[in-house]
Structure 1
Amino acid sequence: MARAQVTDLVVVVPGIMGSRLADADGRPVWDLSGAALWHGLRTLGGSLRALRLPKDTGDGHPGDGVVPVGLMPDVHAIPGIWHPVDGYTGLLGSLERSFTLTPGENLLPFPYDWRLSCRYSAERLKEAVDRRLEGWRASAPGRRDARVVLVCHSLGGLVARHYVERLGGHEVTRRVITLGTPHRGSLDALAHLVNGLRRGWGPFGLDLTDFARSLPSLHQLTPDYACVAGAGAGAGAGGLAYARDLPGLPGVDHGLLRDAAAFHADLRRAAAGRPSPTPLHAVTGIGQPTHTTAELTGDELVPLWLIDGVDELGDGTVPRLAARPANADGTGYQVDESHTPCEQHGSLQNNQGVRDALAGLLGREAPFHRDGERESVPLSVLAPPLLAPGVPYEVSVTVPSETRDHDGLHLTAELRPADGTEPPIRTVRPLGEGRYAVSFPAPSPGAYRLAVRVTDRPETTVTALSLVGGPDGE
């Protein structure tokens, strides 16, 4: 099939941890993925701790010589920072095959130092876009009116929005496409900051708590909505309080938390105040068990699934309510969900349905390879993002009661190691009332992709990513 014509500059902005980092001498300080992930993490722990930022970094750079050198190609994770995320090689390759997009010309992967404030990274994005767009427009008469399309995963969407809304990017940007961006934050980010590595992370032999708590970016990923219960005075409707209003909340840097709130408020006001906001298309993962609120018990934050008694689900990391920007002070600025795949956060950029939606947004009719006569089957998958050594890999699956034959589906689960070895495949057993379960024997240390689907219906696949630890001292 011929590649569809695109005359714009397409920029791919990855999420947190999604850029490879090197020191001033070119030595990798974060560049681990796939089969090398677990064993490399054990030896790289000291280097990661050395990446801790000084308290006064703010929106600047610490001057430690660390530079971004590329996008992560495969599954990557840092315990205590974020859940495992898939790489971006597949997404870039798909864009290049489907469109007249060429790396080095009009396809620009944008790596950035994900430790730093989104404001700092947005400044670097502006420099990169200004430089590349000028050259692209000058390269042929038909490109003089080229604009920018930003394709962003997770944290990358916040970086792109600051560039567009606060740094003049709206003047050259045709549209912003976000994949699982926590526009209103993620409860998991707050839980990582408060709880550190105290709950279930010990087998990984890494304590990166102080490193995580030094990151402006991780604070900017915390919820921009009332989400904490059991916090005492100051709670609003439903007994929930904003994290930024809880001065006794342990673990967080309260200055960074207040600054994160100001960051989100500035984005809302800037977009709402413009007569014609830049189109923003929010691709939102749905149907997956997702922590949305939490209860503060002593100095521990206990994540909860419900908000106001409702389980809104999400992509397993970002609640559905947080995956698109909020209405700004009643101004009417609102962003609809452009596409809602039944998929998990770390795999959104490589989901086939998401790629089809991207094709439409970039100007090509989305390929049709699904049976429109068959009812969709939304699978909700709960699998461990991190697993201790020697522990069986337990998976639970839920099918909504309104789905036809929700108790009688034949489901298959495949646990594929990142090293490419043959994956074990299991039938997922029904438990009744739309609940299913499957167990794999304790996996070897490494990174894994779990794929759950209705057997012989690949379009129903939900992919969860996991990291399995090894024995201490291995």
Structure 2
Amino acid sequence: MARRGGVDDLVVVVPGILGSTLADADGHEVWAASGKALLRGIRTLGNSVKGLTLPAGLGDEHPGDGVRPTGLMSDVHALPGVWNPVDGYSGLLDWLERNFTLRRRLPGEAADVPANLVGFAYDWRLSCRYNAERLAERVDEELGRWRASRADRRDAKAVLLCHSMGGLVTRSYVEQCGGAEVTRRVVTLGTPYRGSLDALMYLVNGMRYGIGPVGLDLTPFARSLPSLHQLTPDYACLATAGGAPLRYAREVTGLPGVDEALLSAAARFHAELRESDAGARYGVEYVPVGGARQPTPTTAETDGDGLRALLTIDGADEGGDGRVPDLSSRAVGAGRHAYTTWEKHGSLQNNNAVRQGLDAWLSPEPPVHRGPGDGEVPLCVDAPELLVEGDAYEIRATVPPGTAGHDRIAVFAGMEGGPMRTMTNRGGGLYTCRIKGLPPGGHRVRIGARVPSHVVMTALVLVLERG
């Protein structure tokens, strides 16, 4: 067995929106389905959505409805109209334990047993500031226990590994809730520091995209969430007639589906984060990681009563991870370097290149040698995240012209657990394939290059039942 990298600090994994399971006051699961049970979970949430919809004017408080987080999602999960497919976190937690001197508290163990690997579950409906305060309570408890467990751990700090919105919760903890003093490093994977256009699209366009076959309308629920408003772009993103400069969403009056009070509160939240220097004063290191060169909605223009997404900003296609633009995932402070990899937003936490980076970000020891690898081929993958049962799943993969032999590389694709097939070379670095007969539920699609066993990236798709 390979030697594990030494970690003396407390490592906390903070998931993104939808990434925590939720239970009601009676202990019944209201959001816990993933993998094969995903569609049933979406229907179940639809049946109880009135009880989960948040009241107006909630701000940074809890609604007192008894809903509480119970754990991290383990497998592919999604909620159309709130956030599209994201992979689970069990694989990441298992990998961390195998490769580093990290230990989770086992089921049934007493709460006072020290552990230095913690999954922080939170109620993702609520504001990031509220959840940052809960994170502060959890870190104080776990870090105090870990430091007290042995004399040589007295100087241990927290290292937070965050996915998507979890990075905003964590940054609020560090900058606004006293976390800077005890935090060594914050690694963020696809965190929308300046927001994501998709969040604004969900609010404005509602559930009309892709939700029809499920037969649910979660629009009022989505529009009640402070968290979803905090994910909207904190940059000028709306095109106006006549070629005028882009405008902030908060500058546009009468934008359908948006709670203007929540949008204003979200703007203040982001402004206060930018103005804080707590992390800098205490030497907290932010390591922003983002997916690179994937087709990513960045700006939008009006389209009837809704919005139509554009992949460009001021005429330039800067890309991103398919959900969070490059300009957003790396915007964490002047002079700080962003690490990028060829991956989609929902799979960043399980990307091989990201895990190689964690050798340096988690452990002060030299990384354990795990083989030379085959050299990564950069791929830009365009594939639907939502599909209706019976429709073909069409994948387009592009290899940039700067890559040697970009127009004659063997590119492979296949469903997880199934055979990899060679994609058709269309010339000019474009490769395509169609996969038919996907059953309803959440699926992982592996895309690789050069040899079928070399997975470069993972695309996620939710197949909805027809009728």
Q: Is the 8 A contact 2:4 2:368 kept in 1?
A: no
Write the mapping of 1:43-442 to structure 2, written as runs, cut at 5 A. Answer: 43-104=44-105, 105-230=115-240, 239-271=245-277, 274-325=280-331, 327=333, 333-337=334-338, 339-363=339-363, 364-369=365-370, 371=372, 376-416=376-416, 422-442=417-437
Q: In structure 2, what is the Cα distance between the partners aligned to 1:465 and 1:231?
A: 35
Note closer, same or farther for the CA distance 1:134–1:95 as it changes in structure 2 (3 Å cut). same
Cα displacement (A) at 1:455: 3.8
Task: Report the equivalent of 1:452.
Answer: 447
Q: Is the 8 A contact 1:231 1:246 kept in 2?
A: no
Q: In structure 1, what is the Cα distance between the partners aligned to 2:310 and 2:453?
A: 31
Cα displacement (A) at 1:231: 6.3
Q: In structure 2, what is the Cα distance between the partners aligned to 1:41 and 1:275?
A: 44
Aligned residues: 456
Q: In structure 2, what is the Cα distance between the partners aligned to 1:158 and 1:362?
A: 20
Q: Is the 8 A contact 1:6 1:362 kept in 2?
A: yes
Q: Is the 8 A contact 2:389 2:464 kept in 1?
A: yes
Alpha-carbon displacement from aligned partner over 1:194-226 (angstroms, at most 9, x marks no partner): 101113321222211111110000110111111
Cα displacement (A) at 1:44: 3.5
Q: Is the 8 A contact 1:370 1:459 kept in 2?
A: no
Alpha-carbon displacement from aligned partner over 1:141-177 (angstroms, at most 9, x marks no partner): 1111111111101000000000100111101101111
Q: Is the 8 A contact 1:219 1:256 kept in 2?
A: yes
Note closer, same or farther for the CA distance 1:431–1:30 as it changes in structure 2 (3 Å cut). same
TM-score (norm 2): 0.94
Alpha-carbon displacement from aligned partner over 1:309-346 (angstroms, at most 9, x marks no partner): 1111111111111102255xxxxx34210x21100111
| Stretch moving more, 290-299 or 251-260 | 290-299
**One-letter amino acid of the structure 2 residue matched with residue 90 of structure 1:** G
Cα displacement (A) at 1:46: 1.1
Q: Percent identity?
A: 55
**One-letter amino acid of the structure 2 residue matched with residue 469 of structure 1:** L
Alpha-carbon displacement from aligned partner over 1:245-295 (angstroms, at most 9, x marks no partner): 112211111111111111111111103895454110001111211111111
| Stretch moving more, 199-208 or 122-131 | 199-208
Cα displacement (A) at 1:460: 5.1
Q: Is the 8 A contact 2:32 2:41 kept in 1?
A: no
| Stretch moving more, 296-305 or 86-95 | 296-305
Q: Is the 8 A contact 1:414 1:452 kept in 2?
A: yes
Write the mapping of 1:19-34 to structure 2, written as runs, cut at 5 A. Answer: 19-34=20-35
Alpha-carbon displacement from aligned partner over 1:37-68 (angstroms, at most 9, x marks no partner): 12332343212443110112110000000000
Q: Which runs of 5+ in 1 are unaligned?
A: 328-332, 417-421
**One-letter amino acid of the structure 2 residue matched with residue 432 of structure 1:** G
Structure 2 SS opposite 1:302: strand
Q: CA RMSD in A?
A: 1.8
Structure 1 SS opposite 2:412: strand
Cα displacement (A) at 1:431: 1.2
Q: Which runs of 5+ in 2 are unaligned?
A: 106-114
